[in-house]
Amino acid sequence: MTEQLDFNVLTETCPSRTSLVRIANKWTAMVVIALGAGRMRFGDLRATVQGISPKVRTGTLRDLERDGLVARYAYAEMPPRVEYELTALGHTLHTPLHALGCWAEENIPEVLAARETYDTLR
């Protein structure tokens, strides 16, 4: 029988905290949202997730692969071809991150207005 462990992300020593920190990273969220559309090549991710440097994109994909959220497929071709896609676990993360992305797009007018009001009063 497997023992059920109690994890609490608010506890300093809880290992789940590292997962929350990883998914709260802006590039992680954007890569997961982009890969929700399906398998993509490294260059396709560059075009889809604008503003991310190759180094950060590589690091983000490696971290997601290590956490079991992304699968990497390398093909022995010339030129070499590498593709990435969400795993089953990654798809469970895509749903809430996609919802957050939609929230950000839908509510940016109110956020910008609030910022302007705040900045004017300061």
* The two structure tokens encoding residue 105: 């797009």
Q: pLDDT tens for residues 48-106?
A: 999 999 999 999 999 999 999 999 999 999 988 999 999 999 999 999 999 999 999 99
Q: CB count, 10 Å around CB of 27? A: 18
Q: Does pTM surpass 0.85?
A: yes
**Element holding 56 (H helix, E strand):** helix 54-66
Tell me the C-alpha distance between 87 and 33, whole Å: 13
